[in-house]
Structure 1
């Protein structure tokens, strides 16, 4: 990478600083913040969302793409029914230049958290990442055992540094369960590490991303819980039922991976 591109990268990330103020306001009113450890702290929930932030973002969840996506899921299914967890890694700029595009520390942490989530018999897992976190998402999922990958109902990435290199795919995840969100003018999505203003705008796409994941959650619940819908979900489950705060009228209930608990109303 040429020095000019690195300077562009640094300058672009610096322009993101003003976004922190509305994030602080959202945290004040109870939204998901820049650090999320709900799965680690609270254990299994009906829905587990694991997300890898981008380079230089604070906390373990960041502020550009993750929080609004998580908030949308909580609004749809009820805050108590969604465990949100960030991936712990340094999020340095330099690890973008590794062949895989992602920090091995983040890959290891995300793989471990996906494995732990897959041990929750009654949970539906969704995942995602932004920028370098998208590269980590690709590698973590592709490096996970098949029995873990088949439990992942949906994946969304933003400003995906591996979009071109991966052919827009994640091995083991059916195409209909994977969505890459790329803003017009985001050169990262064209296989570069040149950061333009477009790469820093993904907070506005959280609702779209959350709705996509919600649709994949509904599909997994109705088809038995696996990412492809061909593997039956476990019965029983360790999460218990929804807490009653989830939205009603979102779809028909079914058996599937929740072991008789309905995502969308009375069982």
Structure 2
């Protein structure tokens, strides 16, 4: 596998592409379906004012050269930009492998999200949360939402889904539970076959969420949810 620096450069090159056809995928060296190592040392301890729970996409590595812990395409830029705009915010990397074993992995990730929300809500009575999911990670958040105690809904200030496969199924089937759905922002790149029902089978566009045009509005949405 290529180094995180090379992966970052390859993915950042996506920001330069404007063609409407299907460009070739960058050679990142990532083997899709391989599990992502989990690092318990990346789990933040204690309390913070705001916590962003991030469920990464399939086999999405961290941008380690930049101190990333949450996924190079979505989680790392979202968390880093949010913490700049909102001191007191931090990220939590959902502990699941994000591998080709989607059914078992989704269950594992969903349990981790629910357990984290419950534990932190007890330990930190003033902490509030945002849930961010990318690709398979969006499925994790859908699964988790079914088991989040309703009493915790007011503590969850926003949910942002990138490349959400449920979004392709239409408004009704992609909804989160009542009490959470009104706080959801769906980010779907035109042409992304995972979430865009009108897309062709071009995986390239599923990797373009690193673009500032997708990251910046999501960050603004998260900050507004926490502070508004």
After superposition, what is the alpha-carbon deviation per residue over 1:102-138, rounded to whole angstroms, capped at 9, x for unaligned? 6211111111112123222111211111000000011
Residue of structure 2 aligned with 1:171, choices 177, 196, 216 = 177
Q: What TM-score, normalized to structure 2? A: 0.72
Q: Which residues in structure 2 correspond to 1:25-64 (within 5 Å)? A: 40-58=43-61, 61-64=70-73
Work out the number of aligned pairs and report it.
Answer: 189
Q: 2:192 aligns with which of 186, 190, 214?
A: 186
Equivalent residues of 1:36, 1:85 under 8 A apart: no
What is the TM-score of this pair, normalised by structure 1?
Answer: 0.62
What's the Cα RMSD here? 3.1
* Helix, strand or coil at the partner of 1:45: coil
Which residue pairs with 1:27 in the alignment?
none
How far apart, CA to CA, are the structure 2 residues paired with 1:159 and 1:217?
A: 23
Matched, 1:121 2:106: no
Deviation at 1:35, TM superposition (A): 7.7
Say whether the 8 Å CA contact 2:191–2:200 is kept in structure 1: no
Trace 1:71-82 onto structure 2 (pairs within 5 A): 71-78=80-87, 81-82=88-89
Residue number among 197, 200, 203 corresponding to 2:204 in the alignment: 197
Matched, 1:152 2:168: no
Q: Cα–Cα, structure 1 residues 174 and 94, in superposed 2: closer, same or farther, change >3 Å?
A: closer
Q: Is the 8 A contact 2:168 2:194 kept in 1?
A: no
Deviations 1:8-50 (A, max 9, x none): xxxxxx9x99543489xxxxxxxxxx98878833321000110
Unaligned runs of 5+ in 2: 12-36, 63-68
Q: Is the 8 A contact 1:141 1:149 kept in 2?
A: no
Take 2:6 and 2:106, find their aligned partners in 1: how far apart are those partners? 26
Greater gyration radius:
1
Tell me how far apart the structure 1 counterparts of residues 151 and 42 of structure 2 sit (CA, whole Å).
Answer: 20
- Aligned partner of 1:93 in structure 2 is 100
Gaps of 5+ in 1: 1-13, 24-33, 220-267
Q: Distance in 2 between matches of 1:157 and 1:66?
A: 11
Measure how far apart 1:207 and its partner are. Answer: 1.5
